[in-house]
Structures are given as structure tokens and as C-alpha cells.
Amino acid sequence: MRIDIEAASVRIEGATILHRVDLLLKPGEIVGLIGPNGAGKSTLLKAIAGLSSLSDGAIRYDGVRAQEIGAARLARRLAYLAQDGEISWPLRVEHLVGLGRLPHRTPFAGESEEDRVAVERAMKLAEVAQFRARTVQSLSGGERMRVLLARALAVEAEVLLADEPVAAVDPLHQLRVMDLLRRVAAEGKCVVVVLHDLALAARFCNRLVVLAGGCKLLDGSPDELTDTIIARAYGVSTLRGEHLGQAFVLPWAPLGPHNG
Amino acid sequence: MTAASVSPVARAEATRHAWLVVGLSLIVACALVGSLFVGYAGLDVTQAIADALRGAQTLPAIVLVELRLPRALLGCFVGFSLGLAGAAMQGFLRNPLAEPGVVGVSGAAALGAVIAFYSGLSTLVPLALPFGAIAGAIFAALLLFALVGRGAGTMTVILAGVAINSFAAALTSLALNLSPNGFSALEIVYWLMGSLVDRSLPQVWLATPFMLAGWILLLTAAPALDALSLGEPTARSLGFDMGRLRVRLVVGAALAVGASVAVSGAIGFVGLVAPHVLRPFVGHRPGRLLFVSGLGGAALLLLADIAARLLPIRPELKLGVITAMVGAPFLFHLVYRLRREA
């Protein structure tokens, strides 16, 4: 699915959260959405997911607006992984992942074979199959995040929107989750991922979109993420290096108000 | 992947769930039949059934059809309504304390019924009592959801309940205060305590359609409630309209609880105890819990009503008193457990 975002603006209680953002999302790419806290990343992701309405502008899915597609049909084509990781009841992992199949279920019908296969596949991909019979409350924060990711994968949607999927995850699994997202994109899906880790973003994404103060600062390849843009977005200086022929970038020191 | 790859846990669980439903249904069926056998007058139930089926107007047949049957049926339906409504409200608010009695929906329904009674409407319009109760319940449910929002903390739910209950109780007291004669006030007080004594078949037929409509609205909310356990944005991303779900739950709970209160008075705690006991058996899934909790509520209320008749206490204990005796300790236990996250 191709998603066309045109001059998207979101204002909440008079404050502009997102200001005239243009973006084109295509299948097969993994787009990193980065920027400081309050830059509007989550708001943009929610808007793409059809969860927050725009004050201005439009979002079209293969040329069609969300209202014309309908929430139920959009839910089958678009998976959204929320940032807060809310889980209200001590659900078993298998059940929780199975919630991702709800958009595909007909009312009063049980799980189909297809549902079961999708849940198994999602649990294997997110490496949580070994926890299947445990309750989520017995898992660590990082494990829980992977279970929620498996839930989103179980939708088997063309588009995967993930809001900080590696925030509470240990380094090993950060790398694994990012690699997994990259593979999902390589399968021809469109992946948009909100990240705070610049190194991961630059390394695993095909494309980076930098937001600051609700405006788009950059939409380009990781090579285009220059020190100047990082300084403007975050107010930090950067450290760059190379390892095994691959460039990396690390935020290094805050830029004071005088030299910023 | 083939069917063989399906987790054995999942298969064992499907079997266990089927047994749970069958087991609870059997308990309800036995309690329902048991309820027909228990009473003060010695009654040859088999003889009575035979007479009733022949259409013979014998004394045993009349006792069975006019007294015992309505009581048993109402126990079953009211219990199902309260258990189901409790589970649905808990799923929606994502809080195990949301129960029609605790949050004031039952109290407001009682107030609605009292108003219908006092205004004389109930003598003019046959459906005034259930309509009054349902209107009261809708009002309280709207107020509750407006006060606490969704995914509310324990303290907010309790405080909203205290506020709505106090308000309903105050207005009910006002009605009693203004009551022209003491006898009718006493009658209302007794009725408010909740009971299934001396109900008639017409009352069953009056309340059942409303309850049934409420059950359908609540039971069909199951997938949305499951999705809601991951929070509102995720539930919406799964295609569920939260506004519509709220309306469905307000109307569904109000129909089920309002119609129940209209025929039985305010019976508390069934909607708290039934979901609480059964939740672990359905893997804490809010959708799966609905029907099971309804069955649990029906079993609980029928057994409590049988206990009321078997206990050597006269005058007979009111049903609402018995459920409160059993249910209040549950509430204490839950508040104790949940106080940290308040």
C-alpha cells in the first residue's frame, strides 16, 4: 500500500503538534521517524494509522481516504504498535498475540486455521514462542514489548507502524527487533518506526524522517542525516565513526545555548 | 504449517473452556430445578408438574407455576444479567471493581423504579416500572463513564461509585420522606433490599425482553472488549469504534440491570463476585468472561435464593442481604489488592 500524506497538520487545544508535513510511504521500505521529545512523531504515526484526525491536509491510502475505506478494512491493511504498551489483564502471551487477528475474524466465528498460522509465525518472528503459555505479567519489560510487536505482526498487514518498539529492550533484542523490522520491509511491506536511538535508526532504516517542533526537517537517506540537522533537531553534537565499513553516528554532547 | 503445529496448550484450553461452560450450565440447571423444590409449603413437585402439564388447576400446580417457577426463572435471569453486566463493565473500564451495585447503576435503577412507583405512573402504564429503572440505570451509566473516562484507576471508579450511589440514595430517601403513608415507605424499603419472593409469571415476561436485549448488546461486545485490553489506541487500530462501544455498553448494561432491578430490587455484588471468581478460568480474557460470568451470576443468585429459604432465619433474609454478606468481603479483598495502583 502506498500512503500519501499531504500537508498534514494537527492542532490540539490551540497548540500546533504537526505542521504541514508531506510524506510518501511506499512498500518495501523501512522509514525511521526520529526527532526530540514532543516533535510530533507519535502524532504523525497515529495520524497515519488513522487514529488522530488532521486539522488540515489529507492522508490517502492508495489514493483513498480512511473514511472511505472504513475502519474495519483499514485495520486489516495497517498494523499499529502503540508506545505505552498498555496491557490491562494478565493475558497469556498466545492470547495476546491472537488479538492481532481480530480484524480478520468474522463475528461469532472462532479462530481459523489461517489465524493460528499467523499467530505462530508472528510469535516465531518476534522470538516469543517460548513464552506462549506464560502470562504477560510474568515477563520483563523488553519481553513484553516483543510480545506486543508479535501482536502487531500477527495482523499481517501491508503496513506496520511501530511507536518506539525498542525503547525498553536490551541491546541484543534491539538489534534483533530492528533486523526483524528490516526483514518485514524486505518482504514488500511498508514499515514506519519511531526511534530515539540515532545509531539504530541510521543503521537499519532505508530512509529517515526528522521531525522537530512539528515540522519536517529532513526526509532522506541515512547519509543525509548530517551533524547540522542533528544539532538543529536535538541540540546535541555527534560522534561519527566507521566499523567494518559501516558508518555509525552517536549523539555525543549537548550544545550549549551559546554555541547552539 | 499444519493443524498439528497448533499449540497443545491452545487445544487443551479449548477443551477446558467447553467443560467450564458445560459445568456452569449444569450447576445453573440443577440450581434452577432445586429452586423449584425448595419452599415453605410441602410440595410434591413431580405431581405439580404433571398437574400443570395437564392444565389442571390443582393446588400443587398453582404453587409451582404461580410461586416457585417465577422465582426460579427470575433468579436465573437476574443473576445472568448482573454477572454479565459486571463482567462487561469491568472489561470496558479495565478495572475489576466496576460492578453495577458498587458503581451505583443498580442504585440509580432503583431510584428510577421508586420514582415510577411514587409518581403513580406504574399504576397507569404497565411498563413504567422497568422503564423507570432502565432510565435510572442509563443515567447512572452515562454519568459513570463521563466521570471516570476509560481505563480509569481504581480510586476514580470507587469515588464515582460513591458519588452516584450517594446521589441515588439521597433522592430515594427524599421519595421515602415524602411518602404519604408509612406502610408504602416500608414496602419500598423492603423492595430495595432485593428479593425474589412473590414474583409472578407476568413480571417474568415483562422483564425478560429487556434483559435479553441487554444480553445481546453486551455479549456481542466481546471482541471489542478483548481488543480494549491493549488500550484504546490499539483497540481502535484493530478496527473498533470506541464511541459505539460505549453506547452499546451503556444501553446494554442499563437494559439488563434496569430490568433486573425493576423485578427484584437492588441486588448487589453478584456482578463483582462472578467475574472475579471466573476470570482465571478464561485466561483473564474479557470477551470470554462475559457469557461465563453470566452463568456464574445465575448460579450464584439461584443458590443464594435457595439458601434464603433453607436458612432457619425468619423472617426470611432478603436476597440482597445475602449477596452483600458474601460479596462485601470480596470488595474488601479487591480494594486491598488494588490500592497500590489507585
Segment A100-143, tens digit of pLDDT? 999 999 877 778 889 999 999 999 999 999 999 899 999 998 89
> Which of A43, A78, A102 to substitute to test the interface with B, most B CBs within 10 Å?
A102
Which pLDDT does position B341 carry in this prediction?
A: 57
Which pLDDT does position A256 carry in this prediction?
A: 76
Given B1, B236, B279, which is nearest A120 (Cβ)?
B1
* Type of residue found at B189: V
Residue B181 has pLDDT above 80, yes or no: no
Average pLDDT (B274-297) is 96
Given A80, A94, A102, which is nearest B7 (Cβ)?
A94
Taking CB atoms and an 8 Å cutoff, what residues of chain A touch B283? 91-92, 95
Helix-strand-coil split of chain B, %, nearest 5: 80, 0, 20
B residues 72-101 lying closer than 8 A (beta carbon) to A: 94
Average pLDDT (B63-87) is 94
B15 touches A at CB < 8 Å: no
Question: Residue-wise pLDDT tens for chain A (260 aa)?
Answer: 899 999 999 998 889 999 999 999 999 999 999 999 999 999 999 999 999 889 999 999 999 999 899 999 999 999 999 998 889 999 999 999 999 999 999 877 778 889 999 999 999 999 999 999 899 999 998 899 999 999 999 999 999 999 999 988 899 999 999 999 999 999 999 999 999 999 999 999 999 999 999 999 999 999 999 999 999 999 999 999 999 988 899 999 999 765 44
Average pLDDT (B334-341) is 75
B227 touches A at CB < 8 Å: yes
Closest-CA residue of chain B to A87: B230
Collect all residues with Cβ–Cβ distance below 8 Å to B227 and sequence separation of at least 6. Answer: A99, A102, B234, B235, B238, B240
pLDDT for A11-35, tens place per residue? 988 899 999 999 999 999 999 999 9
B230 to A74: CB separation less than 8 angstroms, yes or no = no
Average pLDDT (B154-161) is 80
Give the whole-angstrom CA distance, residue A124 versus residue B159.
44
A102 touches B at CB < 8 Å: yes
Q: How many CB atoms lie within 10 A of CB A251?
A: 16
> Which of A69, A88, A111 to substitute to test the interface with B, most B CBs within 10 Å?
A88
Given B151, B236, B285, which is nearest A95 (Cβ)?
B285
pLDDT bucket at B278, cuts 50 / 70 / 90: very high
Q: How far does Cα B177 stand from its chain's mean position?
A: 28
Average pLDDT (B244-271) is 91
Collect all residues with Cβ–Cβ distance below 8 Å to A10 and sequence separation of at least 6. Answer: A16, A17, A18, A40, A43, A44, A47, A52, A53, A54, A55, A214
Which pLDDT does position A229 carry in this prediction?
A: 95
Minimal C-alpha gap between A43 and chain B (Å):
12
Give the closest residue to B215 by CA, choosing from B251, B250, B252, B247.
B252
Cβ pairs A/B, distance under 8 A: 101
For chain A, the straight-line distance linking the first and the last C-alpha, in angstroms and rounded, comes to: 40
A89 to B284: CB separation less than 8 angstroms, yes or no = yes
Give the whole-angstrom CA distance, residue A222 versus residue A225.
5
Taking CB atoms and an 8 Å cutoff, what residues of chain B touch A137? none
Query: Percentage of chain B surpassing pLDDT 70?
Result: 94
Which pLDDT does position B4 carry in this prediction?
A: 45
Whether the CB-CB separation of A123 and A97 falls below 8 Å is answered with: yes
Three-state DSSP state, A81:
strand
**Helix and strand numbers, DSSP H then E, in chain A:** 9, 12
A88 to B229: CB separation less than 8 angstroms, yes or no = yes
A79 to B237: CB separation less than 8 angstroms, yes or no = yes
For B31-95, give the DSSP string: HHHHHHH-SSS---HHHHHHHHHHT---HHHHIIIIIIHHHHHHHHHHHHHHHHHHHHHHHHHT-
Whether the CB-CB separation of B268 and B101 falls below 8 Å is answered with: yes
Helix (H) or strand (E) holding A216: strand A215-220
Which pLDDT does position A260 carry in this prediction?
A: 42
The answer to whether the peptide bond before residue B60 is cis (omega within 30 degrees of 0) is no
Give the whole-angstrom CA distance, residue B39 versus residue A87.
48
Q: CA B102, B104, B109, B114 torsion: positive or negative? A: positive
B residues 240-259 lying closer than 8 A (beta carbon) to A: 240-241
Given A88, A102, A148, which is nearest B238 (Cβ)?
A102
B6 to A116: CB separation less than 8 angstroms, yes or no = yes
Which pLDDT does position A30 carry in this prediction?
A: 97
Calculate ∠ Cα A242-A248-A253, nearest 5°. Answer: 115
Which pLDDT does position B124 carry in this prediction?
A: 82
Taking CB atoms and an 8 Å cutoff, what residues of chain B touch A91? 229, 283-285
Query: Which of A35-39, B49-53, B284-288 is predicted with the least confidence, judged by mean pLDDT?
Result: B49-53
Which pLDDT does position B2 carry in this prediction?
A: 43
Average pLDDT (B90-117) is 89
A15-25 vs A236-243, strand pairing mode: unpaired
B220 touches A at CB < 8 Å: yes
Collect all residues with Cβ–Cβ distance below 8 Å to A175 and sequence separation of at least 6. Answer: A200
Scanning the structure block, which residue is given the C-alpha cell 534483533? Answer: A176
A183 touches B at CB < 8 Å: no
pLDDT bucket at B3, cuts 50 / 70 / 90: very low
Determine if residue A108 is left, alpha or beta; phi over 0 gives left, psi from -120 to 50 gives alpha, anything else beta: left
Give the whole-angstrom CA distance, residue B243 versus residue A8.
24
A82 to B3: CB separation less than 8 angstroms, yes or no = no
Collect all residues with Cβ–Cβ distance below 8 Å to A32 and sequence separation of at least 6. Answer: A193, A195, A201, A202, A204, A205, A207, A208, A209, A222
A105 touches B at CB < 8 Å: yes
Helix (H) or strand (E) holding A248: strand A246-254
Give the whole-angstrom CA distance, residue B89 versus residue A29.
42
CA distances from A172 to A142, A143, A155, A166 (A): 11, 12, 25, 10
A86 to B237: CB separation less than 8 angstroms, yes or no = no
φ/ψ of B265, rounded to 5, equals 80, -175
Which pLDDT does position B342 carry in this prediction?
A: 47
Going through A36-171 in order, the beta strands assigned E by DSSP cover 56-61, 64-65, 78-81, 159-163
Minimal C-alpha gap between B236 and chain A (Å):
7
Angle between helices A171-186 and A141-154 (to 10 degrees): 10
Give the closest residue to A84 by CA, choosing from B194, B196, B234.
B234
pLDDT bucket at B151, cuts 50 / 70 / 90: low
Residue B332 has pLDDT above 60, yes or no: yes
Give the closest residue to A122 by CA, choosing from A103, A88, A96.
A96
**Helix and strand numbers, DSSP H then E, in chain B:** 16, 0
pLDDT bucket at B118, cuts 50 / 70 / 90: confident
Long-range contacts of B179-187 (CB under 8 A, 24+ apart): B179/B118
Which pLDDT does position A60 carry in this prediction?
A: 96
For chain B, the straight-line distance linking the first and the last C-alpha, in angstroms and rounded, comes to: 45
A134 touches B at CB < 8 Å: no
Helix (H) or strand (E) holding A50: none
A103 touches B at CB < 8 Å: yes
Scanning the structure block, which residue is given the C-alpha cell 470488595? Answer: B331
Which pLDDT does position A120 carry in this prediction?
A: 95
CA distances from A177 to A194, A243, B156 (A): 13, 21, 37
Whether the CB-CB separation of A1 and A189 falls below 8 Å is answered with: no
B285 touches A at CB < 8 Å: yes
Collect all residues with Cβ–Cβ distance below 8 Å to A76 and sequence separation of at least 6. Answer: A103, A104, A155, A157, B239
Three-state DSSP state, A240:
strand
